Chains A and B, each alone.
Chain A
Amino acid sequence: MTELQLQRSQNSHTISLLVANKPGVLLRISLIFSRRGFNIESLVVSPTLDGRFSRMTITAQGDPSILEQIIKQAAKLVDVVHATEHKDISAVQKELALVKVKLNPETTGRVLQVVEHFKATTVDLTSNSLIIQATGSSEKLDAMISFLSEYGIIELVRTGKIVMARGKEKT
């Protein structure tokens, strides 16, 4: 990892929120981040088993001491049931990426090697491009994308990180 990457990953936080499935929740939560100058890097909102609630997983960059405030302020919102930060060890963290890469006869073989190495799959093939689907930790996806960039990435879409606490812990 470069120094910059290291610093980024230390200051990058993953927060999971269980929220009431009501209009305006996303607005209120994003205001808590923006008011304190935090930039949200990724945000995933998804249904839970119980239709009354949604799950939000947010990754954001910023000072850990401000993060404590953010989590507490978020937890205080009427529509938030709970908010927790998840560290790597205590939770499974996954993300999915779709990467559209340029293809030409000289590079195809090497691109497919990268796909294989990262246990990714190809999901679309045209004469001059290939869409690769990969899942894994965000760091793994970062690494794969950096390899692929050599061959020319046309488009990139990532879902943003989702997390689930291990074992008995609740997410």
Chain B
Amino acid sequence: MTKKLITGAELLIQYLEKKGVDIIFGYPGGAAIPIFDALVDSKIKLVLVRHEQGAAHIADGYARATGKPGVVLVTSGPGATNTVTGIITAMMDSVPMIVLCGQTITTSLGKDAFQEADVFGITAPIVKHSYLVKNPVDIPRIVEESFYICSTGRPGPVVIDLPKDITGAMTPIQDSPPVMDIPGYTFPTHARSKDIQKIANYIKQSHRPLILAGQGALISEAYNEIQELAETIQAPVVNTLLGKGVFPENHPLSLGMLGMHGTAYANKALTRCDLILSIGSRWDDRITPGKIERFCPDAVKLHIDIDPAEINKIVVPDASAVGDAKLVLRDLIPLLGKLNTKEWLKEVDQYRRKFPLNYKKTGGLKAQHVIDELYKLTKGDAIVTTDVGQHQMWAAQFFKSHFSRSWISSGGAGTMGFGFPAAIGAQFGCSKKTVIAIVGDGGFQMTAFELSTAMLHKLPIKIVVIDNKFLGMVRQWQQLFYDDRLSGVNLEGNPDFVKLAEAYGVKGFRIKRAADVRKILSRALAYSDGPCLIHAEVIKEDNVFPMIPAGGAAEDMLIEAPKVKMEKPKGST
């Protein structure tokens, strides 16, 4: 009996369905039409975005909120290149994502065909893996491998370039499940027990231990284990920007975020600990000084990470365990008992009391006030996405994360334009949750057109535009380190964001006075008939503190605005 023939595109969609894909974010074009055609008969929901960058960030937000890979579908050439920023954003923050790109027909490859771009080449440095499909028969195997690769080990984006003659070709349906052929791909699970024992031995000798929880702990879903570890050894916990939520920031042992704009008490603890245990953090340069010898010079450094390449990359640890955070902690905890850290916890508490995060509600409307009130009104029970800049840092400081996957922010790439589309993805993934996008006036304008997408799908996202009429974070640097010589940061002439929202059929709210914050936010949070935008016109020239100037160590932290002229920072950015 001859097998039934279907198109390569139909085969692709069949296997995406088999992998549990129920939603794709896409934008069509000539080279991708066969795939869009196959979607007509599929139960997979197709969400038409307004720009391919939006599709990539939406898929990213979806993946970070749910833990499931986000799937993007775009056409060749400019369609594919528009996703590049989204791909690097996902790569830097280890987000599982699959980007399907239409491509010119195989016989035209390399001939400057219409809308041909070497997508395999362009994306090679920013993907976990990629494919150029040359034969429709390979599609099931490639889909199988792609999902496996993007979501296991250290997750990351996978690009699949699909020439139109391949997706259009007739090919037999396949009965047997695809067999993966990736002999070079392995990832650690359990760590070696002698490494875990060595870590345990160091911890047992510590009087002032500090746990550093990063996004890797979140990816491995090690929340219970981290809590158990912290409570067992009675150690305070700091988290990275991307580790927010993996250990509840309202837990008595939590010191919140460390690093450049972390809490003063987290950074003070960093200068005083005698041991620091990183669980799934990659010692990014926002938390470590340029001169790495200055990082916790007297502390024992321990590192748990699934990626062997992270060990010794920035910090050379005294002991390390390569493996999945959750599995490593499960093996580690039984080796440990209660430590006597009373003095240390007392000391840390003093920092907490002496250097609290604060702001004044007087002197005009403050971004911090808006964010703080959002936190209080929701009691932290929301998924918060942010864009990049000052508002991101204030959100990290004032919106405490109580749950994992409740905080979504572009950390490694720091991609402006990420926050709002990421909220769309998060809301698609978690329809019952309150999703709040906290964005700057600059970054929001980079992807604001996705208001259409949010509106058409009636997603009840709250978009909070912190409008300071400046590219605030850059202005802060120019003020502090470049003699207040402002250059290219003035956003005077911003649109009226309420009217902009209304033009898309989105409900708009406006906050101008501190006295109205609570009232208006309450109304916006109660609004459920689709998305709403809250235009918060905050004071123009506020700056984020505490701050460790780039390249500096925790000792160099500025708790408030410096009175003296600052030198240009030595760190990268």
B130-A52 in contact (CB<8A)? no
B196 at the interface (CB under 8 A from A): no
Contact, CB under 8 Å: B184 / A81 = yes
B521 to chain A, nearest CB (A): 45
B125 interface hit (Cβ, 8 Å)? yes
A35 to B128, CA, bound (A): 16
B130 → chain A closest CB, angstroms: 7
Contact of B120 among A24, A52, A53, A69 (CB under 8 A): A24
- Alpha-carbon distance A77/B129, docked complex (angstroms): 8
B313 adjacent to chain A (CB < 8 Å):
yes
Instruction: Assess whether B184 is in contact with A31, with CB atoms less than 8 Å apart.
Output: no
A78 touches B121 (CB 8 A): no
Partner of A77, one of B120, B132, B183, B184: B184
Q: 1/0 per residue A23-37: CB within 8 Å of B?
A: 110011001000100
> Could you list some 22 contacts between A and B, CB below 8 A?
A20-B183, A24-B120, A24-B130, A31-B124, A31-B125, A35-B125, A52-B183, A53-B183, A69-B309, A72-B309, A73-B309, A75-B308, A75-B309, A76-B308, A77-B184, A78-B128, A78-B185, A79-B129, A79-B184, A80-B184, A81-B183, A81-B184
Is there an interface contact between B149 and A78, defined as CB atoms closer than 8 Å? Answer: yes
**Which residues between 74 and 90 of chain A lie within 8 Å of chain B, taking CB atoms?**
75-81
CB of B309 within 8 A of CB of A76, answer: yes
Chain A residues within an 8 Å CB radius of B185: 78
Closest 5 pairs between A and B when the two form their complex, measured CB to CB: A72-B309, A78-B129, A81-B184, A78-B185, A80-B184
- Residue A111 interfacial (CB < 8 Å): no
B232 in contact (CB, < 8 A): no
Q: Which residues of A contact B313 (CB under 8 A)?
A: 69
Count A-side interface residues using an 8 Å CB cutoff.
Answer: 21
Contact B125–A78 (Cβ < 8 Å): no
Report A-chain residues with C-beta under 8 Å of the C-beta of B307.
76
- Contacts of B548-566 to chain A: CB distance below 8 A: none
Distance, CA A44 to CA B244, complexed state (A): 46
Q: Which residues of A contact B108 (CB under 8 A)?
A: none
Shortest Cβ gap from A149 to chain B (Å): 39
Expressed in whole angstroms, the Cα–Cα distance for A76 and B121 within the complex equals: 19
* Contact, CB under 8 Å: A78 / B184: yes
Question: Per-residue CB proximity of A49-83 to B under 8 Å, as 1/0?
Answer: 00011000000000000001100110111111100
Report B-chain residues with C-beta under 8 Å of the C-beta of A132: none
Give the chain B neighbours of A68 by CB distance below 8 A. Answer: 312
Is B526 part of the contact surface with A, judged by Cβ < 8 Å?
no
The reply on B182 being an interface residue by CB < 8 A is yes
* Chain B residues, Cβ within 8 Å of A53: 183
In the complex, whether A141 has a CB less than 8 A from a CB of chain B is no
Interface flags for B385-422 (1: CB within 8 Å of A; 0: not) read 00000000000000000000000000000000000000
Q: Which residues of B contact A101 (CB under 8 A)?
A: none
Contacts of B149 in A (CB 8 A): 78
Contact A20 B184 (CB under 8 A): yes
A75-B308, A75-B309, A76-B308 known; 16 new pairs, CB 8 Å cut-off, are A20-B182, A20-B184, A23-B132, A24-B120, A24-B124, A35-B125, A53-B183, A72-B309, A78-B129, A78-B184, A78-B185, A79-B129, A79-B182, A79-B184, A80-B184, A81-B183
CA of A73 to CA of B308, assembled, Å: 9
The A-contacting residues of B in range 106-145, CB under 8 angstroms, are 120-121, 124-125, 128-130, 132
* Cα of A5 to Cα of B66 in the assembled complex, Å: 56
A162 located at the interface, meaning its Cβ lies under 8 Å from any Cβ of chain B in the complex: no
Mark B276-307 against chain A: 1 for CB-CB distance below 8 A, else 0: 00000000000000000000000000000001
Asked, given contacts A20-B183, A77-B184, whether A28 binds B309 with beta carbons under 8 Å apart, the answer is: no
B residues within 8 A CB of A24? 120, 124, 130, 132
Residue from B124, B182, B308 within 8 A of A72 (CB atoms): B308
CA A80 – CA B308 in complex, angstroms? 15
Bound CA span A27–B183, Å:
19
- The answer to the question of A98 belonging to the interface, with a C-beta cut-off of 8 Å to chain B, is no
Look across to chain A and name the residue whose beta carbon is closest to the beta carbon of B120. A24
Give the chain B neighbours of A77 by CB distance below 8 A.
184
